[in-house]
Structure 1
Amino acid sequence: MTAPWRTWGPYLAGRQWGTVREDYSEDGDAWASFPFDHAHARAYRWGEDGLGGICDRFGFLNFSVAMWNGRDPILKERLFGLTNEEGNHGEDAKEHWWAVDGTPTHSWMQWLYRYPQAEYPYEQLREENARRSRLEREFELADTGVLDQDRFFDVQVSYAKSGPEDVCIVVTATNHGPESAPLHLLPQVWFRNTWSWGGDKRQGVIRQLLAPTLTVSGLEAVEAEHGYLGRYVLAAEGSPTVLHCDNETNAVTLFGAERNTTKYPKDGIGRRVVEGDRSAVNPADTGTKAAFWYRWEAVAPGETVTVRLRLRQADPDDAVFGEEFDAVLATRRAEADEFYGTVIHPGLAEEDRHVARRAYAGLLWTKQLYRFDVSQWLDGDPESPAPESRRKRGRRNSGWRHLALADVISMPDEWEYPWFAAWDTAFHCIPLAHVDPDFAKEQLVLMCREWAMHPNGQLPAYEWAFGDVNPPVHAWAAWHVYRIDGYRDRQFLIRVFTKLLLNFSWWVNRKDSTGSGLFEGGFLGMDNIALFDRSAPLPPGYRLEQSDATSWMAFYCQQMFKIALELSRFDQAWDSTATKFLEHFLSIAQAMNNFGSHEESLWNEEDGFFYDVLVSPDGTAEPLRVRSMVGLLPILGATEVPGWIQSECPDVANQLRWLQRRRPELVGPLRSRSAPEGRKMILSLVDRDRLERILRRMFDTEEFLSPYGIRSLSKATGQVVAQVGGRDVSIEYEPGESRTKLFGGNSNWRGPVWFPVNVLLADKLRTLGRFYGDSFTIEIPTRSGNHCTLVEAADLIDSSLTGLFRPVDGKRPADGKRIEASESPLWQEHPTFSEFFDGDTGEGLGATHQTGWTALVAHLLNPRLPPDPRFA
């Protein structure tokens, strides 16, 4: 992220309010600590937000577009949504916006926002969702009627860089409604407030360039000077009114303070425009925030109004908006078309190409600047009241004082305020590697750097609880990024691998409490998939041996084994590391299958399925007989053992032979068979018989197989009730939004289809299929009489996932019953990339705005990479 062309990018969040970082409360209620209703008048501590905005790599200077329809009580400056307690299915964005296009260097970017012409129904959205139960659908913006008859403006922002620090900006607004409507556009520029807290006194200044300083006609301009960033000038075409205020809190309005630190606080521009308060803005035309105020009393139906701006270091001249400006936009757009013409296979259908390009745009637009120093946050700032000692002791993330990030990170979703989760980011890196492999590699390395990774080796899970546990998919992602990038960057592989050695040890030391080889781990990213919250403490003396945690660790071993073998080909010093992971996998496989006894086995012979097992204080083991994704994940423990280890990794080959002679009971998971091309070997957690039994359930339409992928919970699950430590717990199949409050009620692994685990399952079925060949077939669907190879089964999963975005009778299944399913091309042209999908209908659910890991669809739509030559 140090390349000059990446200095400016879409790193500005869509919203910053309600984040953990902005929460300085005693009770840790981030939503209540900094609500949406404060955002327009209260300075943020750790970030900024805006609509379709950009900022510099360090987040000092920010640009975005605000708007007003003449009716709203406040300017539309940032994304609005419901907090966890306000939404009947957890937090939810109540806006419509789309990342339209983008290139990896952000030389070309487009973003679109759909702005109602009626007053924005903030209170109606809150009140109706509060009234609705968890058995009802969310009440969305389209349900209020404000978008009827297309009574909205489409406000599109386009960015084209003439040079690394010269950005041409075009804002267009089109009235799609049947009548004329007023519109105010306010492109804004401001400095992040770093000076109010006592740690950084570099207060930038933004002042209007006035005659005789500025003699160019037909524009207005402001200059922004900063001690670190230097000087930039933002020029705006035409004759807008230039408004200035300061990026400071209006403490008088919000908290009843006697006075503010400035006469012109953060909401000054909004009060001037909406309330007509001329005293709210600085008549001296200076401050730390400025806006160019464009007004149209009546934009006609179908009419488009345009605003042009330019951000650069040089003063404007007569050519600032001349032919060269238009040429830059045309050139950058053409370059983007040429780039995606090579990235996206030209043989794809036009609809598939459109979906893939939008998926890439979403990933590139959700590169967000993430600033957070946990020690500073815990201890408080020099010019803020010191936190109480009890707050510091019991504070969220108090064990993560080392974490100090000021990096651009791939975020799950622009709505998600911004935050990162280690396993989300790892999945993002797969499609990112097709368009921006350097950034993908940087992301995987970043999570392992000493200012992110815990000194004990744990990777940070997510902002609400860095110490929680995400599945260990980092090594898998690293290998695939290395592969997509052409097997050429071994230095990257070494950098990741050496840090993952620490992380692997953390898992072994912390999540295998008895040393049995069976792992715990908590919810492991799959929120409410279990009978109870697996991250919560169990009653004294109980422990939970998890099928998914153990499977993830077997999978982790195999990926580390694979990387170590690759490094061994060039340096035999890595051989012994490969043998370490080989033997560790074998010991986990032995524990999981418990070849000596079935008393505590995670495998249930009667059901032909893997389950979590609850071990009571007296040692009694009780399987939690819920057929869910946790029982499918043992399939992930499969990887080829290449024949070339005999010649290129002699230490590994010798150790393998020794184990076969001296520890034959341990090497059961190493399977081999003769094939025309030579002897094939595979390490598999699941033997052929058990694999066949699991797959019969997985491809049963009455259980896991849906038309759009593999469900997270068997559809045959009725209400399962159990007792844990004297407490009744239950679970049942829920194909759509969660009906429980577990994990806030905004996530559901009790039936819906999730992209990332489906991609992993298909990946490993393909691995198993290459080993077994045509000799292993299964019925798909179960009981249909239609037999498929495992490779064909993997292809079916992939095509089911991509089918979510392919129109059926003119509508994408993923659009479901939402307004995106409208027959209007104004909605049809904008696919959304949802967090998860209804297990029966395929409708997109959860966060529905460019959710990162669902962008894996672009990876699936590209012609598949040939079998891995290193391991085929």
Structure 2
Amino acid sequence: MSATAVNLFDPQRVPFSRRESWFSVSWLAEDQSFWLRHLRGGDEHTDLGRLFRLQPVDAEGQALQGIWSLQPDQLSFHAEGGGSLQFAWADADTLALQGQGIVLQLTLQSKRYDYAQRLSEGTVHVSCAGQDLSARVALAQGELRLDAPWQGQRAERIALELRPDAQGAWAASVHLYRVQPAREDVAGFEAARAASEADFQAWLAQTLPLPQDLTPLRRLAAYITWSCLVPAEGVLRYPAMYMSKNWMTNIWSWDHCFNALALGAGQPERAWQQLAVLFELQHEKSGRLPDFANDLQAYWRFTKPPVHGWTVAQLRRQSPWSPARCAQMHDWLAAQARSWLATAAEGGLPAYDHGNDAGWDNATTFLEGTPLQSPDLSSFLVLQLEELAALAELLGRPAEALDWRRQADALFERLLAQLWTGERFVARLADGRVVEGGGDSLIAYIPLLLGQRLPAAMRERLLAELFEPGRFLSPHGLATESQRSPHYRADGYWRGPIWAPTTLLFVDAMDRCGRPDLGDELARRYTTMCASSGLAENYDAQTGAPLRDPAFTWTSSVALLLGHRLYSKKAAP
């Protein structure tokens, strides 16, 4: 257990949204406020997409203190002195609101050219020019006040108030749109709540089953993955699962693999889409994948490691693919593999140009610079070449399958010859020098994914080091940097914290090495930590405390996969 268990559905950590919406209600700590936010444009979007600040006040406009609570179908506020607010998503673009006994202020983060117009006594149009967006605020009950004095080209400020009527209640909705509103009616709260709950329950029913004691964790993981989907739009050709609707509002080119894996059994079509949404953007000439994408752009300066062959092999075991789908994935994986193999000098190994390309942005492996031949990269590529061989066999191309296997074997031999010292795997710079920066990164143990390919003595040595108490292994799992390293930091990103993807990779590596018992132990430690600390971007290895973005999808997906592993073991006769 972590030092202090968190409220899993804490609205100050977990945004309120729904499937395939560009909007959320999120707590922004720098403002100490909840905001209705617009999430198009990725994680560099203006002001984190702030639209309306949501502030409960009394009749005189004084801020009220109280308790905010979150469930998948609604966000609510209960004031200390009485009175309450409720919010529910009627659809992806419409927020239904109601209040009893208190006032809600909606204040726009006003910018150049923003303005508001009263269309009727109970309807206001707000032009959010800085966000290229309009909001239609419509009243069903109560009073709607508007303060938006015009200053020649814009409103000086834009503030709305939803106030109770003589019966002490109000009801309204906020509909957000680009050009033309999709609805002009007022969305009712109860109908909105019921529709959102039904959609979530349908998703939950397709979510991997977990042991009974992990039921709250399963519900949270299902909510985060469901609510972090955005629709197909712009650069994104399929609905995409963003990493978060806090601030990591993109889809990255290895994160999507772990999210796809958690969908593979229950929603195989959506799992395919999570892979395809980035492979559809694959650079035509080089085969390189972008680092990340959002609706506005694909970002090319970096990429991510080739975990995709490893991923596809597992997805195909979960749900069979058609020949056409196998052929398409074969072509995508082949182009990506060639892009990485092209980074190797003749007779050498492929190399990273930056830690970001490895996905381990600041790992100590990169302390002395790049290009860097790191053992994880060649290990992933061996697995990808093996999967390409398997796909070629399925497609009736035996000669091509044989060629892929030969390439896999040759790359494996070069990996051992050039990066295994007889005692450990190392990383080398382009001039052949071994990185000796005093770090001790978990990345050097990724070759354990090669399992039975590794000589038995090598395998046993690496396993003994990996599970040496106090080095990488903590009460909560595997630290990304040795806890004894001078570079270890509790909140050091890839220099200490426990991460979801590495945990899943090493659980699978234990199976491949014939030690599923060790994989089960890692799964138990990880899911226990998540059940206590929530589903954050990463965790303090020594305390299990959540770090960085507090509601992350690949963390959720890995928790589901590892929890399901434990469930399956319990259910086995």
Q: Which residue identity is paired with 1:12?
A: F
Q: Whole-Å Cα distance in 2 between the matches of residues 767 and 341 of structure 1?
A: 31
- Give the C-alpha shift of residue 501 in structure 1: 1.5
> Is the 8 Å Cα contact of residues 170 and 308 (structure 1) preserved in structure 2?
yes
- Aligned 1:167-246 pairs, distance under 5 A: 169-171=95-97, 183-186=103-106, 208-210=118-120, 220=123, 235-241=138-144, 243=146
Mapping for residues 9-48 of structure 1, pairs under 5 Å: 9-12=20-23
Q: Is the 8 A contact 1:711 1:752 kept in 2?
A: yes
Q: 1:579 to 1:865 in 2, by over 3 A?
A: farther
Cα displacement (A) at 1:850:
3.2
Alignment correspondent of 1:504: 337
Counterpart in the other structure of 1:759: 504
Root mean square deviation, CA, Å: 4.9
Q: In the alignment, is the contact (CA less than 8 A) between 1:233 and 1:314 conserved in 2?
A: no
Task: For 1:588-627, list aligned pairs within 5 A.
Answer: 588-594=411-417, 601-605=418-422, 608-614=423-429, 616=431, 626-627=439-440
- Residue 372 of structure 2 is matched in structure 1 by 544
Higher helix share: 2
The aligned amino acid for 2:491 is E
List alignment gaps of at least 5 residues for structure 2.
Answer: 1-16, 176-180
Instruction: Tell me how far apart the structure 1 counterparts of residues 277 and 392 of structure 2 sit (CA, whole Å).
Output: 20
Match 1:264 to one of 154, 177, 180: 154
Are residues 614 and 517 of structure 1, via their aligned partners in 2, closer, same or farther at CA, if it must alter by over 3 Å? closer
Q: Distance in 2 between matches of 1:75 and 1:563?
A: 65
How many angstroms apart in 2 are the aligned matches of 1:562 and 1:711?
Answer: 33
Question: In the alignment, what sits opposite 2:363?
Answer: 529
Q: What is the alpha-carbon distance in structure 1 between the residues aligned to residue 169 and residue 346 of structure 2? A: 67
1:445 lines up with 2:365 in the alignment: no
Shift of 1:357: 1.7
Output the TM-score relative to the length of structure 1: 0.51
- Counterpart amino acid of 2:308? H
Query: How big is the shift at 1:586?
Result: 0.6
Which residue number in structure 1 is paired with residue 243 of structure 2?
A: 412
Aligned match of 1:579? 402
- Structure 1 partner of 2:204: 340
Matched position secondary structure for 1:362 = helix
How far the C-alpha of 1:602 sits from its partner, in A, is 1.5
- What residue ranges of structure 1 are gaps of 5+ in the alignment? 1-5, 18-35, 41-48, 77-95, 102-108, 118-149, 175-179, 197-202, 212-218, 251-259, 274-291, 298-303, 373-403, 538-542, 595-600, 639-681, 720-731, 739-747, 770-789, 807-811, 815-831, 868-872
Identify which of 336, 348, 368 aligns with 1:516: 348
Deviation at 1:460, TM superposition (A): 0.7
Of all paired residues, the percent bearing the same amino acid is 16
Equivalent-residue separation in structure 2 for 1:706 and 1:172 (angstroms): 47
Residue number in structure 1 paired with 2:478: 710
Q: For 1:155 and 1:237, locate their aligned partners in 2 and report how far apart those are by CA, in whole Å.
A: 15
1:406-805 correspondence to structure 2 within 5 Å: 408-416=239-247, 418-433=249-264, 436-450=267-281, 453=283, 455-462=285-292, 466-484=300-318, 486-510=319-343, 512-523=344-355, 524-530=358-364, 532-533=366-367, 536=369, 544-565=372-393, 568=394, 571-573=395-397, 575-594=398-417, 601-605=418-422, 608-614=423-429, 616=431, 626-638=439-451, 684=453, 686-717=454-485, 719=486, 732-734=487-489, 736-738=490-492, 748-769=493-514, 790-805=515-530
Q: Any conservation in 1 of the 2:428–2:434 contact (CA below 8 Å)?
A: yes
Q: Deviation of residue 864 (structure 1)? A: 6.4
Structure 1 residue 54: deviation in Å? 8.6
Matched residue, 2:543: 841
Answer whether contact 1:517 1:591 (CA < 8 A) is retained. yes
- Whole-Å Cα distance in 1 between the matches of residues 373 and 442 of structure 2? 15
Q: 1:415 to 1:703 in 2, by over 3 A?
A: same
CA distance in 2, matches of 1:7, 1:327: 15
Contact 1:98 1:850 in 2 (8 A): no
Q: What letter corresponds to residue 264 of structure 1 in structure 2? A: R
For 1:189-218, what per-residue CA distance to the aligned partner results, in whole angstroms no more than 9, with x for missing partners?
Answer: 99x99xx9xxxxxx9x9865538xxxxxxx
Whole-angstrom distance in 1 between the partners of 2:53 and 2:500? 34
CA distance in 2, matches of 1:852, 1:110: 24
**Corresponding residue for residue 219 of structure 2:** 357
Whole-angstrom CA distance in 2 between matches of 1:499 and 1:428: 19
Indicate the SS of the match to 2:354. coil
Determine if contact 1:713/1:749 at 8 Å carries over to the other structure: yes
SS in 2 for 1:171: strand
Conservation of the 8 A alpha-carbon contact between 2:142 and 2:170: no
- Whether contact under 8 Å (2:164, 2:170) holds in the other structure is no
Deviation at 1:10, TM superposition (A): 2.0
What are the Cα deviations for residues 427-464 of structure 1, in whole angstroms up to 9, with x where unaligned?
A: 222224456443332231121224x5363211111479
Tell me, in whole angstroms, the C-alpha distance in 1 between the residues paired with 2:390 and 2:94: 46
Whole-Å separation in 2 of the counterparts to 1:427 and 1:155: 37
Residues of 1 paired with 2:428 and 2:51: CA distance?
Answer: 52
Distance 1:366 1:693 in 2: 41
Q: Which amino acid aligns with 2:507?
A: A
**1:466–1:591 distance in 2 versus 1, CA, 3 Å:** same
Encode CA deviations 1:436-494: one digit per residue, 9 max, x unaligned.
Answer: 443332231121224x536321111147962223111223333434443x214443333
C-alpha distance in structure 2 between counterparts of 1:558 and 1:99, whole Å: 45
Following TM superposition, by how much is the alpha carbon of 1:154 offset from its aligned partner in structure 2, in angstroms? Answer: 8.6
Counterpart in the other structure of 2:161: 293
How far, CA to CA, are the matches of 1:755 and 1:435 in structure 2? 20
Give secondary structure in 1 for the equivalent of 2:104.
strand
CA–CA distance in structure 2, aligned partners of residues 98 and 564 of structure 1: 52
Instruction: Indicate the SS of the match to 2:498.
Output: coil
Q: Distance in 2 between matches of 1:805 and 1:863?
A: 15
Tell me the amino acid that sits aligned with residue 795 of structure 1.
D
List per-residue Cα deviations over 1:358-417 (Å, max 9, x = no partner): 112112222246988xxxxxxxxxxxxxxxxxxxxxxxxxxxxxxx55875322222325
Q: Is the contact between residue 517 and residue 587 of structure 1 (CA under 8 Å) also seen in structure 2?
A: no
Q: How many Å separate the matches in 1 of 2:125 and 2:554?
A: 36
Aligned residues: 523
Q: Once the 2 structures are TM-superposed, how far is the Cα of residue 550 of structure 1 from its aligned partner?
A: 2.0
Distance (Å, rounded) in 1 between the aligned partners of 2:123 and 2:68:
29
The answer (yes or no) to whether the contact 1:518–1:591 under 8 Å persists in 2 is no
User: Is 1:527–1:749's contact at 8 Å kept on the other side of the alignment?
Assistant: yes
Summarize the Cα distance change of 1:564–1:189 in structure 2 as closer, same or farther, 3 Å threshold: farther
Aligned counterparts of 1:866 and 1:14: Cα–Cα separation in 2: 36
Structure of larger gyration radius: 1
Contact 2:540-2:546 at 8 Å conserved across structures: yes
CA contact (8 A) 1:209 1:223 kept: no
Looking at structure 1, the residues matched to 227 and 519 of structure 2 have their Cα atoms a distance apart, in angstroms, of: 30
Give the deviation of 1:526 after TM superposition: 0.8
Q: Which deviations, in whole Å up to 9, do the C-alpha atoms of 1:625-648 show, x marking residues without a partner?
A: 74321221001224xxxxxxxxxx
SS state of the match for residue 88, structure 2? strand
Which structure exhibits the higher relative contact order, with contacts defined as CA atoms closer than 8 Å and separated by 6 or more residues?
Answer: 2
Q: Is the 8 A contact 2:539 2:547 kept in 1?
A: yes
CA distance change for structure 1 residues 235 and 707 in 2, over 3 Å: closer, same or farther? same
